[in-house]
Amino acid sequence: MDLTTRQFKRLSEIVYHECGINLHDGKKQLLQSRLDKRLRSTGIKSVKEYLKVLENDQRELINFLDAVSTNHTYFFRESHHFKYLTKDHMNIWCAASSSGEEPYSLAIYCLEKGFKPSIIASDISTRMLRMGQNGIYSIEKAKNLPPDILRKYFQKGTNSWNNHVRVKNEIRQMVTFKRYNLISDPIPSQKYDIIFCRNVFIYFDNETKSNVAHKLHNALKAPGCLIIGGAESLNTISHPFKYVQPSIYNKVLPV
C-alpha cells in the first residue's frame, strides 16, 4: 500500500514525537516497508485505519516504534572506549542498549579487569530488551569474539539451539534490562558513575540531542563520564559537559 505524502508526514511526526528520530524524505521507502510488516501482522487493511489504531492503542504504538528503529549493534563495538571504565564505575547505565551485546561486552570487560559493576541496560524497543534479557545470540554474532572469551563467558547451544550461544548466568546477572525512552521518560532517580549512550544521538536533531544530553548530565554523579558513539558529536549543541576528546564528555564537580 503506497503511503501518501500526508500519511508519511503524519507517521514521521509520530516517530519524532515519541522517540526523537527524524525520518526525512529519504526514509520514505524504509518507513513504507516497516509499515507493510505491521499491516500484515495486525491484519489492518489500510494506512488510514492503522493511523487511527496508532493514535489510540499504546501497545501497537510500541510495536510500530520497534519496527521503525534501527537496532544494529555487535559485541565489543568501539571497544577502545572501554578503557575509560575503572573500578570507580560500579554503577553503569548503558542507554540505547539494543539487543544486549553492548552491556554484556561491558560486563565481560569489567570482569576481565577484576571488578563487578551493576549495569542498567535500557532501550525504547521492548523486542530488543527481550532479546537482551534472553542473552541468546546466533553463532554468527559471536564469531569475532576471542575464543577464550567465548569459552569463558558463553555456553554453546545444543539440539535446536545448535547454532546459538548464550551469555552465562554470571554475566546476565550483572545486567538489568528495562524500557527507557530517552525523549519522554523522566530523569532516573538513581545516579550513575558512567553512561554509555552510543549510536543513538545520530538519529536525533539538535534540539533533541541537547535535551537528551541535559537529561544524561542530570543522571550522572560528579565527577562522571558520558560516552557517545564515534560517529557522533555534541559540538553542534549547547550542553553542560566538559569535552575530553571525541566521544568522551565529563561531568565535573561544581567549583
Ligand X SMILES: C[S@@+](CC[C@H](N)C(=O)[O-])C[C@H]1O[C@@H](n2cnc3c(N)ncnc32)[C@H](O)[C@@H]1O
**How many angstroms separate the CA atoms of 193 and 81, rounded?**
15
- Closer to ligand X by CB, 84 or 156: give it: 84
**Does residue 7 belong to the site contacting ligand X (CB under 6 A)?**
no
C-alpha cell at 190: 538513581
In 3D, which of 77, 180, 73, 54 has the Cα closest to residue 125? 180
Told to judge if 2 belongs to the known catalytic residues of this protein, a careful annotator would answer no
In the list 7, 63, 98, 105, the residue contacting ligand X (rule: CB under 6 A) is 98
Using CB under 6 A as the binding rule, whether residue 224 contacts ligand X is answered as no
Q: Does 199 bind ligand X (CB under 6 A)?
A: yes
Residue 55 in grid coordinates: 493514535
- Does 12 participate in binding ligand X (rule CB under 6 A)? no
| Residue 252 backbone dihedrals phi, psi, to 5 degrees | -100, 155
Interaction of residue 123 with ligand X, rule CB under 6 A: yes
Record the cell numbers describing residue 163, joined without a space: 547454532
Q: Is 202 helix (H, G, I), strand (E, B) or coil?
A: helix
Q: Residue 90's closest CA among 63, 65, 114?
A: 114
- Among all residues, whose Cβ is closest to ligand X? 73
Q: Please indicate whether residue 172 is annotated as part of the active site.
A: no
* Residues in 41-80 at the binding interface with ligand X, rule: CB under 6 A: 69-73, 77
Residues that bind ligand X (CB under 6 A): 19-21, 69-73, 77, 96-98, 102, 123-125, 128, 181-183, 198-200, 229
Query: Which residues carry out catalysis?
Result: 34, 123
